[in-house]
């Protein structure tokens, strides 16, 4: 049975990917430093799959601890989620973001190089494209100067991986996520925003739950049909399954280059107001919102051209926006 290391495996996307890895028959080991996740997620994963993943609380910025882990664990592949990911926070604390996101990546890749561990899946983001000139966004779209240190760590991370694969014959795939939303159908795992949510869907569900007074829609003067910004919201379970497909591609040596990257989205754009309407319809909950000024740094529109991922990964999204919003609401009610 192949043993897969999932870093950040107790986080939102990480935990959903661990569930799908176990469902696909992989032996999973999680490394998480619990800086932005909760240990209770481990038990929730076991409740869903019946299998308790091995867990190590390790700070990947501590090279000695990373080396010790690999001295004691034979790993066949790595899915690397562990990173700080708050755009606004990264603007205020760039050095923490570069140290954490880049430092941990370098230490992981050094172990892979030294032990000939071959298969690496990297958690990247559509923010590498900034505001793309053409929509939908393909993998050929030019990488734009990052709008935040967070986005820059994803761009730099991909370049580090590309150079390392070229120099050391490793094989890696970078998955550029659009906007992950929703929760597992069991409502046992989901998005756990610590503090005031930055992302739209957790703010929507907390407003519906009465935790937040009112949702602010950041701007209705964008050049879009209803004036509000457009994003590609993908169900987190569909996103998790894309990681399994990418890992299988590497394990079966079907990759065509030693560094590949894929846009992972639904291919459909939804505006903020369309999400509000869809949420109200899907959950029968009235949402209290107001139109507010634009948020600094937001782009007008981004949604994926999914043809490459669909064909090369033999993967496509199966769940609807309504299912994602319903699952997010079911998860919120469990909090
Ligand atoms: C979506 C839309 C907001 C909150 C971020 C990261 C990106 C990726 C996904 C990690 C925007 C609007 C939001 C609110 C609102 N994360 N909004 N009111 O900014 O597209 O992307 O999350 O990989 O890297 O940048 O997602 O959910 O913050 O915003 O109107 O209270 O919702 O303006 O148009 P975003 P988001």
Q: How far apart are CA 89 and CA 162, in angstroms?
A: 27
For the question of residue 98 being annotated catalytic, the response is no
CA of 220 to the centre of ligand 1 (A): 15
The closest residue, in CA terms, to atom 36 on ligand 1 is: 199
In the numeric block, which tokens belong to residue 184? 């597992």
The closest residue, in CA terms, to atom 8 on ligand 1 is: 179
The closest residue, in CA terms, to atom 31 on ligand 1 is: 200
**Which atom in ligand 1 lies closest to the alpha carbon of residue 203?**
31
Confidence (pLDDT) at 59? 98
Confidence (pLDDT) at 285? 95
Pairing of strands 230-231, 270-271: antiparallel
Cβ proximity of 32 and 11 under 8 Å:
yes
Confidence (pLDDT) at 87? 85
Give how many domains the chain has, as a whole number: 1
CA of 24 to the centre of ligand 1 (A): 31
CA atoms within 13 A on the CB side of 209: 15
**Which atom in ligand 1 lies closest to the alpha carbon of residue 218?**
30
Q: How far apart are CA 271 and CA 298, in angstroms?
A: 13
CA of 201 to the centre of ligand 1 (A): 9
Q: Tell me the pTM.
A: 0.97
Confidence (pLDDT) at 193? 83
Confidence (pLDDT) at 160? 98
**Which atom in ligand 1 lies closest to the alpha carbon of residue 87?**
25
Confidence (pLDDT) at 86? 87
The closest residue, in CA terms, to atom 13 on ligand 1 is: 200
Ordered per-residue pLDDT tens for the chain, 335 residues: 899 999 999 999 999 999 999 999 999 999 999 999 999 999 999 999 999 999 999 999 999 999 999 999 999 999 999 999 988 889 999 999 999 999 999 999 999 999 999 999 999 999 999 999 999 999 999 999 998 899 999 999 999 999 999 999 999 999 999 999 999 999 999 998 888 999 999 999 999 999 999 999 999 999 999 999 999 999 999 999 999 999 999 999 999 999 999 999 999 999 999 999 999 999 999 999 999 999 988 999 999 999 999 999 999 999 999 999 999 999 999 99
With b for 16 or more beta-carbon neighbours within 10 A and e for fewer, the 214-252 pattern comes to ebbbbbbebebeeebbbbbbbbbbbbbbbbbbbbbbbbe
73 lies in some domain:
yes
Backbone angles phi, psi at 48, to 5 degrees: -80, -45
Domain that holds residue 242: 3-181+235-265+305-317
CA of 282 to the centre of ligand 1 (A): 21
Q: How far apart are CA 55 and CA 144, in angstroms?
A: 37
CA of 199 to the centre of ligand 1 (A): 5
Measured from CB, residues less than 6 Å from any atom of ligand 1 are 85, 87, 125, 127, 177, 179, 198-200, 203, 215-218, 229, 231, 272, 295, 298
CA of 21 to the centre of ligand 1 (A): 27
Element (H, E) at 281: helix 272-283
In the numeric block, which tokens belong to residue 155? 């761009």
58 lies in some domain:
yes
Q: How many residues does the chain have?
A: 335
327 lies in some domain:
no
| CATH number of the domain bearing residue 124 | 3.40.50.720
Q: How far apart are CA 291 and CA 180, in angstroms?
A: 23
Confidence (pLDDT) at 194? 82
Q: How far apart are CA 86 and CA 107, in angstroms?
A: 22
Confidence (pLDDT) at 297? 83
The closest residue, in CA terms, to atom 34 on ligand 1 is: 229
Confidence (pLDDT) at 147? 84
Query: Per the residue annotation, which of 97, 107, 129, 150 is the catalytic one?
Result: 150
């Amino acid at each position: 049975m192949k043993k897969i290391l999932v870093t950040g495996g107790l986080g939102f996307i990480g935990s959903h990917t661990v569930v799908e890895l176990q469902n696909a028959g992989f032996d999973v080991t999680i490394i998480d430093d619990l800086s932005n996740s909760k240990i209770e997620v481990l038990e929730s994963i076991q409740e869903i799959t019946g299998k308790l993943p091995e867990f190590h609380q390790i700070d990947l910025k501590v090279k000695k601890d990373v080396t010790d882990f690999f001295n004691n664990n034979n790993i066949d592949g790595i899915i690397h989620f562990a990173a700080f990911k708050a755009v606004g926070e990264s603007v205020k604390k760039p050095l923490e973001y570069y140290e954490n996101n880049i430092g941990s990546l370098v230490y992981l890749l050094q172990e892979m190089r030294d032990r000939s561990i071959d298969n690496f899946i990297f958690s990247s983001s559509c923010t590498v494209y900034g505001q793309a000139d053409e929509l939908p966004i393909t993998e050929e779209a030019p990488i734009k100067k990052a709008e935040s240190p967070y986005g820059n760590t994803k761009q730099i991370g991909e370049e580090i991986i590309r150079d390392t694969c070229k120099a050391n014959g490793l094989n890696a795939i970078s998955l550029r996520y659009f906007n992950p939303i929703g929760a597992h159908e069991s409502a046992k795992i989901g998005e756990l925003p610590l503090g005031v949510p930055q992302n739209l869907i957790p703010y929507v569900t907390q407003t519906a739950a009465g935790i937040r007074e009112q949702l602010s829609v950041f701007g209705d003067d964008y050049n879009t049909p209803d004036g509000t910004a457009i994003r590609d919201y993908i169900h987190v379970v569909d996103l998790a399954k894309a990681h399994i497909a990418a890992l299988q591609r590497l394990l079966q040596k079907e990759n065509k280059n030693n560094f590949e990257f894929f846009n992972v989205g639904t291919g459909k754009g939804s505006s903020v107001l369309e999400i509000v309407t869809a949420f109200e319809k899907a959950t029968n909950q009235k949402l209290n919102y107001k139109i507010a000024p634009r948020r600094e740094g937001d782009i007008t529109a981004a949604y994926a051209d999914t043809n490459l991922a669909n064909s090369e990964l033999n993967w496509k999204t199966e769940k609807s926006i309504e299912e994602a919003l319903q699952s997010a609401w079911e998860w919120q009610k469990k909090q």
